[in-house]
Amino acid sequence: MTSGDPLSRAPAASLPARRVTLLRNVSHGANDLYWFILPPVLPLILQEFGLRYAAAGGLITAYLCVIAVASMLTGRLSDRVDRTRLIGFGFLLASATLWVGAFMPLLPLVLVFLMIGGIGVSTFHPAAYATIHDAGHGEGRTYGVFEASGSLALVLMLAAQGLLVSRIGWRGVIVAGAIPGALMGLALLLLPGASLGGTSRNAADNPAVVPDSLAHGRSAASSAVFLVGVMLRVLGITALNSFIPTYLVHSVGMRPSFAYFAMGFTFLGGLAGAVIAGRFADRRGSFPTFMAASGLLVPLLPVLALRMPPAAYPALLVFVGFFSSACLPAQTMILAELSGTRGKGSVFGVLMGTTALTAAFSPLLFGLLADGAGLAAAVRACVIPAAAGWIVTLAVWKSLGFRGRN
């Protein structure tokens, strides 16, 4: 890189390791706000523009689809440029375009700016996962705390939205949700020595972080099949998360403000699930942890479609969030093992791209099903891809013969 390249960085004194970790985790929370900035305000968007469920789901689909495709490209880019600066520019692009889009009077214009913002959103996860791995901190505990930071940010965001949405509307909520990302972008670009940690290198250059399971000849086909299983689970969970506030308002009869708080319980459970599962993966192995979490998630999903007292839904969502987030540290560890010595930015770009692409289409499919069969039936149907994903990943586990700590 030349000194004139905006993604290069002049040498500077680096921050202490703990501050690097704190900066990375806070950045993760700020980035996750972008991912879930639309679902909580979807009931208000439906009302203002007179949308059907399928059209509302399509709005989220278009936004996430851009993030998905761009993640594969920015993941490869992160193996070649300064990752911290790449993420910093991504934050500023995402916030600026979301702010402009929030004030557009026509829905197509709102969508255009959302999609441009998705390119900025895509820069974070592939590069951040790679910095953790390449710094030699790819243990489950580290990934677990990293994932939990995203859940914590979403809990705080949803609580704030529940208090503010009636006062500032969905446009104001989007503006407020993009402020942390703008601040993080400025910090990463301007703070002396700011770094998210790690350097771009191959896994073979650091034997300490190369899992011994690579000696068993994990194939590219195994990685692909494992990703299919992950995508199926994401298909069901993202569809559910995207429409939970709408379901609670339209089918259960909750007030919109309370529905936002109820959705926050999902991420509250996710905060605990990521931390606990990360530690469990270090002790019992990544695959056993992943299979247990994804398997226990399956029977919980159809229960949400049952008629229950309103207070029961937040409690159930805690468990859904717990087991959903518990899958994340282990699946990242598994993919790092299966990918061998490939550049980890590219590897995690594929992970984020494929899962985000699945997440992009799941709200649209859910919306189409909800229009035809009703919201409750669509909620029940979410269990089908989640169960299928568990079966697929079980087949990979058995075929590869993972044993003990892996």
What is the spatial distance between Cα 383 and Cα 202, in angstroms, rounded to a whole number? Answer: 38
Does residue 294 surpass a pLDDT of 70?
yes
Query: What are the boundaries of each domain within the chain?
Result: 17-400
Is 171 a residue whose pLDDT tops 80?
Answer: yes
Cα–Cα dist 21/132, whole Å: 9
Q: Average pLDDT for residues 315-321, to the nearest whole number?
A: 90
Q: How confident is the model at residue 15 (pLDDT cuts 50, 70, 90)?
A: low
**396 vs 162, higher pLDDT:** 396
- Residue 137: pLDDT band (50, 70, 90) is low
pLDDT confidence of 9, banded at 50, 70, 90?
low
Please name which of 103, 96, 99, 38 lies closest in space to residue 65, comparing C-alpha atoms. 38
Q: What angle do CA 240, 354, 220 make, to 5 degrees?
A: 135
Q: Name which residue leads in pLDDT, 238 or 136.
A: 238
Record: fold of 17-400: Growth Hormone; Chain: A; (1.20.1250)
The larger pLDDT score, comparing residue 399 to residue 34, is at 34
Q: Scan for tokens 């669509």, then name that residue.
A: 378
pLDDT for the residue numbered 277 = 93
Angle at 245 between CA 354 and CA 175, to 5 degrees: 75
Express each pLDDT in 174-184 by its tens digit: 898 899 999 99
Q: Residue 154: which of 273, 259, 277, 35 has the closest Cα?
A: 35
Short-list 368, 361, 305, CA closest to 52: 368
Range with lowest mean pLDDT among 1-5, 92-96, 209-213? 209-213
Contact assessment for residue 74 and residue 349, using Cβ atoms and an 8 Å cutoff: yes
Q: How do residues 153-166 score in pLDDT, each as one tens digit? A: 877 877 777 677 77
Percent helix, percent strand, percent coil in the chain, to nearest 5: 80, 0, 20
What residue has token string 């880019």? 77
